[in-house]
Copies of this chain bind each other. A is one copy, B any other.
């Protein structure tokens, strides 16, 4: 039973405004005495254009860190990086129990091990379709379909109503591996009454239906059968059903399978250990593969996004120790282009074309389907669950806005576009933002966590644009120039160096003594002005002084 001043709130700290970095907290209780659960704990990948030198980005969770004792659990819906990638970094901040189904748990424990946390926490296993009670939250795991084994929606029951948190999902009558989306369970929840559906927005701009994995399998088999040279298929390693499809198609056409790339081996191993891929064909290693006639080999490899250190890009660059491709061979990209990776992927295509390798992609062949719901599937979800409130998450603003518009058109009474850090009261009463809490992004910069607000990466971006001038003045006890300064310049053309040196010398010549700060500022300005006149750009410039 809910008490008089109990409230149910949703607080997204990641995933509202971006596809990635999913981190949603649900709070129950009176304001000031809420208990929390967290759903998913993911990362976003850094971009050279906005955050050069940053590998991954995670949510700023200081608000929950400050009330750590009231955070009862982190529940993980599935094992994609944008849902579990931050566990190794953020678990130490919250130190609460972790819940996941077995395959997801297996991969999370790999992350905990890498972070040196294996001794401190283990993941509590929940069986598929299972149930857990955590404080005021009674949670049913509802099997759905996605592009990885064991995806789950969560039916989160509270004394103030039930939230269906969809996680990442799609509808596929024949997903090949794992369960179909449990339509009956979702309809039953709808019959019982759903307060809010908190739902994946990734494909809210895409008409129709995401398509079936079984059809991809057929098409891949036909395509593989039509080729005569070596074949390399690159796909997301976590798409275990796809790996299975490719492997089976290879066997059908008399090809041996070699896995190439660390993530590929890791994922196949995790899948096998948790009971999947039991009839996956025996693989051979890269060296054995190199000995076989081209038409007897199929490589299954990482690198579909053009990641420079992954297998396929290294092979295309001729830098892989044991795999090479050439004229007569073909590469099948059984994957989509993640926005932002276009140029890296096209560069990879160009390198392969330069080797004489045929490049086959989803642009011309039916070799990939999305794991996220398109508009027709979203409509089904709202018909099944019939919530009072639709809360789009897992999307950029453009996806969430369109998703909310669609929900409204489907007669959902309330549809709310939220931002990270906005605390949305789901009950009682009309859905409403009741608080705004500190939020933002934290960069894993090298191995150090840095608040995005510190602008460290943005500052480096300025270095990338116009370079750096470091000037050290040498002053005597009276503040007079004792000797020539050291001027270290990086990233600017040669003629600019001379112009800067002259301008600094000129400024120092005019200086008599005293006021060191004014002198440093004059030198800084003179250097930047000289660079700007000679070059049209103003380098980042710093001036220090030493005294002798």
Contacts and interface: CB of A to CB of B under 8 A. Distances in A.
Contact of A540 (B454, B484, B490, B547): B490
Given A342-B342, A446-B466, 7 more contacts: A53-B465, A339-B342, A350-B397, A446-B535, A460-B465, A464-B464, A488-B542
A400 B464 CA distance: 32
Q: Which 10 A-B pairs have the closest CB atoms?
A: A464-B464, A470-B470, A446-B536, A472-B472, A52-B464, A463-B463, A447-B536, A446-B535, A472-B486, A470-B488
B48 A364 contact: no
Interface stretch (A290-298, A491-499, A503-511): A491-499
A518 interface: no
Contacts of A47: 343
Contacts of A447: 535-536
A140 interface: no
B396 A350 contact: yes
A401 interface: yes
Interface in A424-477: 445-448, 450, 454, 456, 459-461, 463-468, 470, 472, 474
Nearest to A468: B468
Contacts of A548: 474, 482-483, 548
Contacts of A176: none
Copies in the complex: 2
Interface residues of A, number: 73
- Identify which of A205, A350, A454, A540 gathers the most chain B CB atoms within 10 Å of its CB: A350
A92 interface: no
A340 interface: yes
A380 to B, nearest CB: 20
A325 to B, nearest CB: 14
Contacts of A350: 17, 396-398
B353 A343 contact: no
11 contacts: A53-B491, A205-B364, A346-B398, A351-B397, A353-B397, A353-B401, A448-B534, A461-B464, A488-B542, A488-B544, A546-B546
A307 to B, nearest CB: 14
Contacts of A464: 48, 52-53, 460-461, 463-464
Contacts of A488: 470, 472, 488, 542, 544
Contacts of A486: 472, 486, 544-546
A349 interface: yes
Given A346-B396, A456-B491, A548-B483, A446 B353 contact: no
A163 to B, nearest CB: 25
Interface in A29-59: 47-50, 52-53
Contact of A349 (B342, B398, B468, B540): B398
A537 interface: yes
A521 B544 CA distance: 22
Contacts of A343: 47, 49-50, 339-340
A498 to B, nearest CB: 13
